[in-house]
Amino acid sequence: MTIRTEPVTINLGPQHPSTHGVFRLRVTLDGEVVLDVEPVLGYLHRGSEKLAETRSYVQVVTLTDRLDYTASMSNNLAYVRAVEKLAGIEVPERAQYIRVISAELQRIASHLMATGFLLNDLGAFATPLMYCFRERERILDLFEMLCGARITLSYMRPGGVFQDAPEDFWPALGFFLKDMPGYIDDLEGLITDNEIVLARTRDVGTLSAEMAINDSITGPILRASSVQWDLRRADPYEVYDRLEFDIPIGSVGDNFDRYLVRIQEMRQSVRIVEQCIRDIPDGPIRADTEYFMRPPEGDAYAAVEGPKGELGFYLVSDGGIAPYRCKIRAPSFINLTSLRDMVVGWKMGDLITTFGSIDVVMGEVDR
């Protein structure tokens, strides 16, 4: 017999570990069953889009680092591609390869954090998350070799990258690529067949392909719902059209599929970087551009397949040294739109797990 109780509305967050920062959910519960969910945004409100109007095109690069701070390289890449499209800048071939290497390393680092914190939301604090941090540290070491920074990288520039990779970067990258498949195997051995993980994620928080498409969902969440859409293949940029890689997809669109797609994408990223090392040519790493660029009047949109989905920048130029307008298509924000549909009817604990499977960073939600 089902016993109904008086519905209770509670606040979950902001500034709560299970909301991944300054995110607030107004949750209406019947006992532990979720009746309704209302996301409340705006507590961070960085104003990045408005700040971009007061900075030169090169200075805006540092703002992009602070959007998704687990994927700064991807943010850099999306922004500088929009500037290059606006200004008609051709990027040297070597720089394109370095950009792809950086973006794929960043994808691995971001997916490691998504996996570790998903397990943290499931209640497994120490081992899985620390495994993920351990491997991510090696990627941050590589980033430090490239640009001297580890988190807010500001490595890419309109026309190329800030500087070429130093000589000791390439052997360090080779050692990492040799070790990483074994690390992914360790993670899978720890997680994929774990009966608690399976019980908490299989057929929980399902999102149909039709609903994902209607909500403009992209990235691993869309692919977990069996939609094989990836901008690196659908609308290739840089040198992705020269590289061989698979696009992993799920079958159900549940929390487990979203986890497994990210695991498989890390393997494909390793494969992509190995090809880039094999094929990268010598040559310049940046086109000749003025520091205070003045793109002609007009507008441009460019997007990349970021770790969380389609990350795009729409820029409008009035011929000045700063964007007249800047609009960011942030995947964390868009991907939140399906949260209510995924959690209504499930228990409170399932809500935490499902929210963790979306993998949001509030810096680009409250941009």
Give the model's confidence band at 21: pLDDT under 50 very low, under 70 low, under 90 confident, else very high.
Answer: confident
CATH superfamily, with its number, for domain 59-337? Cytochrome-c3 Hydrogenase, chain B (1.10.645.10)
DSSP classification of residue 235 = S
pLDDT of residue 2: 66
Q: Are 52 and 326 a contacting pair, CB within 8 Å?
A: yes
pLDDT of residue 1: 54
Residue whose C-alpha is closest to residue 74's, from 109, 120, 47: 109
Q: What are phi and psi of 28, to 5 degrees?
A: -100, 125
Say what percent of the chain tops pLDDT 70: 99
Residue 271: partners with Cβ closer than 8 Å, 6 or more residues away: 244, 245
pLDDT of residue 16: 72
pLDDT of residue 13: 82
Contacts 24+ apart (CB under 8 A), 194-202: 196/122, 197/119, 197/122, 197/256, 198/256, 200/122, 200/255, 200/349, 200/350, 200/353, 201/122, 201/254, 201/255, 201/256, 201/259, 201/353, 201/357, 202/254, 202/255, 202/256
Domains of the chain, residue spans: 59-337
The letter for the amino acid at 320 is G
Q: Is 236 helix (H, G, I), strand (E, B) or coil?
A: coil
Q: Supply the pTM of this predicted model.
A: 0.95
Q: Per residue in 184-228, pLDDT tens?
A: 999 999 999 999 999 999 999 999 999 999 999 999 999 999 999
What value does the mean pLDDT take over residues 325-336? 96
Range in 20-29, 269-278, 293-302 the model is least confident about: 20-29
Q: Per residue in 53-101, pLDDT tens?
A: 999 999 999 999 999 999 999 999 999 999 999 999 999 999 999 999 9
pLDDT of residue 317: 97
Q: Per residue in 153-189, pLDDT tens?
A: 999 999 999 999 999 999 999 999 999 999 999 999 9
Q: Is the pLDDT of residue 126 over 80?
A: no
Mean pLDDT of the chain: 95
Q: Is 297 helix (H, G, I), strand (E, B) or coil?
A: coil
Q: How crowded is residue 193: how many other Cβ atoms within 10 Å of its Cβ?
A: 9
pLDDT of residue 140: 97
Q: Measure CA 167 to chain center.
A: 29
